Structure 1
Amino acid sequence: MPYAAPLWRSIRDDLRARIKAGLLKPGEKIPTTKALMEEYSTTSATVRRAVDSMIESGELVGRQGIGVFVADDSQRSS
């Protein structure tokens, strides 16, 4: 049986694809945790892991009490 990647990685990869395709633009707020939970039929912990991994890599920026946004060029870590 082939190995299936964890769902959080699939969510991360999908968000990356949306950014690359221009569906989510720099400075734009990503869907809420609740919206992503519903879209992927998963838990908040799974969504948070995907989003947190993108924050750690500098692809997304979290703003306390406001939301999570696509990093623009000045915010991206190289």
Structure 2
Amino acid sequence: MVEKTGQPGYLQIADDLRTQIRTGSLAPGAALPSTAQLCKRYDVSASVVKAAISVLRTEGLIVGQQGKGVFVREDAAASASEEEPASSEVMEQLAQMRNTLATLGERIAELEKTVFQESKRSR
């Protein structure tokens, strides 16, 4: 199930599937579960699952075969472990940016609250 962590659901799903590929739970050549199965497993819509699949396809971890399904690439486990440090660094930077944006949003909300209360008093 996708959790409310601030990280988009499709990235959480991509992270989970990437981990399964890296650890061998999804072996090279293995078929990924169907979109419907992944929707049910993670309790999300098909568009969220498709976005996650797109991320993994872009990373070169999976390949689609028309009419057959989506499969783990033969060299995917090596690719996943090679990209891990850069991926973690980027995710850490994104988390920091999200926290900064959340803080800024709170500050703006407080300023708007103050400004709009003052404008009501001056009327």
> Shared fold (TM-score greater than 0.5)?
yes
Higher relative contact order, structure no. (Cα contacts within 8 Å, ≥ 6 residues apart): 1
Gapped runs of 5+ residues in structure 1?
none
CA distance in 1, matches of 2:22, 2:28: 10
- Is the counterpart of residue 33 in structure 1 residue 35 in structure 2? yes
Structure 1 or 2: more helix by fraction: 2
State the distance in 2 between where 1:34 and 1:11 align: 14
Paired AA for residue 41 in structure 1? D
Letter of the structure 1 residue corresponding to residue 70 of structure 2: V
Q: Deviations over 1:12-71 (max 9, x none)?
A: 000011111111001100111000000011000000000011111110000011000001
Hey, what's the Cα distance between the residues in 2 that align with 1:8 and 1:31? 15
Shift of 1:73: 2.1
TM value normalised by structure 2 = 0.56
1:57 match: 59
Matches within 5 A, 1:8-47: 8-47=10-49
User: Runs ≥4 in structure 1, deviation > 6 angstroms?
Assistant: none
Matched with 2:119 is none
* Pairing 1:66–2:68 present: yes
Which one has a bigger Cα radius of gyration? 2
Q: Tell me the SS of whatever aligns to 2:70.
A: strand
Aligned counterpart in structure 2 of residue 48 of structure 1, from 46, 50, 57: 50
Q: In angstroms, what is the RMSD of aligned CA positions? A: 1.8
Percent identity of paired positions between Structure 1 and Structure 2: 36
AA at the equivalent of 1:27: G
Q: Which residue number in structure 2 is paired with residue 5 of structure 1?
A: 7
